[in-house]
Structure 1
Amino acid sequence: MPEMTEPVRICESTALEDGGLGVRFPVEVRGRTVSAFVVRYAGGVHGYLNQCAHVPMEMDWQEGQFFESSGLYLMCATHGAIYEPDTGRCVGGPCRGSHLSKLDIAERNGEVWWQPDALFRMPAPTATPIPPA
């Protein structure tokens, strides 16, 4: 298990296609584990907390489906808010001008990595009970 501040491998680069499905992963924010995601847009990878800027509800339509039908914008399934995939800025809907919470994501050597920081951390491992003998 990586340390709380070490880079965390999210997925292979080939798992992300421009305007295609995203990959979800857990992030700890203020002591609470929430979902985050990475997507590919215009050749780059971008990551955000999986929470709409309008009301903090998960955004994907189905697991990993964050883009609207054209593949040009991220869209909240609940509120219809539209976001620029590369900046996280809301350009349409109830939270126009607000931003998604952006994560520090990098792509290197064919893999996508997330760099935890003081606000967005790696969740602590949960203890797995030992089954009775």
Structure 2
Amino acid sequence: MAADARLICPSCELQDGGRGVRFTIERRGVAEPAFAVRFDGRVRAYVNRCGHLPVELDWQHNEFFDDSKVYLICATHGALYSPADGRCLGGRCNGRGLAPVAVEERDGAVYLTPSEHEP
């Protein structure tokens, strides 16, 4: 793991299909909201912005999954996304998926990888 990797959360905070963890990234000199969730045993992270409109997905703080715990859902208009890869699965996202954020899980913690840091 690179020395400049930034801690997001302890691994135990992310349960399969459970609450996510919000954090902030910097892209092109702008701070943007992001989130991490666990799905199918792996941690996945995305910019917290719907593919349809620039609104955050969570319907309550850190709640990103729909009731089935199978899909990520936009609280504003119900667009569904694959938690495995951020792909748009239905709704107003019209094929525009979520922007992935590179993270790694190591030694009981989840880290933002250096590739996401602004140079």
Return the offset for 1:108. 0.9
Partner residue of 1:69 out of 59, 67, 88: 67
The superposition leaves residues 31-58 of structure 1 with CA deviations (integer Å, 9 ceiling, x where unpaired) of 2211100000010000000000111111
Amino acid at match of 2:107: N
Residue aligning to 1:131: none
Q: Tell whether 2:100 aligns with 1:102.
A: yes
Return the offset for 1:100. 0.4
Residue aligning to 1:42: 40
Residue aligning to 1:121: 117
Secondary structure of 1:9's partner? Answer: strand
Return the offset for 1:6. 2.0
Amino acid at match of 1:13: S
Supply the distance in 2 between the matched residues of 1:96 and 1:16 (Cα, whole angstroms). Answer: 29
| Alignment TM-score, normalising by the size of structure 1 | 0.82
Partner residue of 2:31 out of 17, 33, 39: 33
Partner residue of 1:82 out of 80, 83, 87: 80
The superposition leaves residues 109-133 of structure 1 with CA deviations (integer Å, 9 ceiling, x where unpaired) of 111111143xx436xxxxxxxxxxx
Partner residue of 1:19 out of 17, 20, 23: 17
When the two chains are superposed, the root-mean-square deviation of aligned CA atoms in Å is: 1.4
Change (3 A) 1:55 1:116: farther
| Alignment TM-score, normalising by the size of structure 2 | 0.91
Residue aligning to 1:59: 57
Indicate the structure (1 or 2) with the bigger Cα radius of gyration. Answer: 1
Return the offset for 1:30. 2.0
**How many matched pairs?**
116
Secondary structure of 2:111's partner? Answer: strand
Report runs of 4+ in structure 1 exceeding 6 Å deviation: none
Residue aligning to 1:130: none
Q: Tell whether 2:14 aligns with 1:10.
A: no
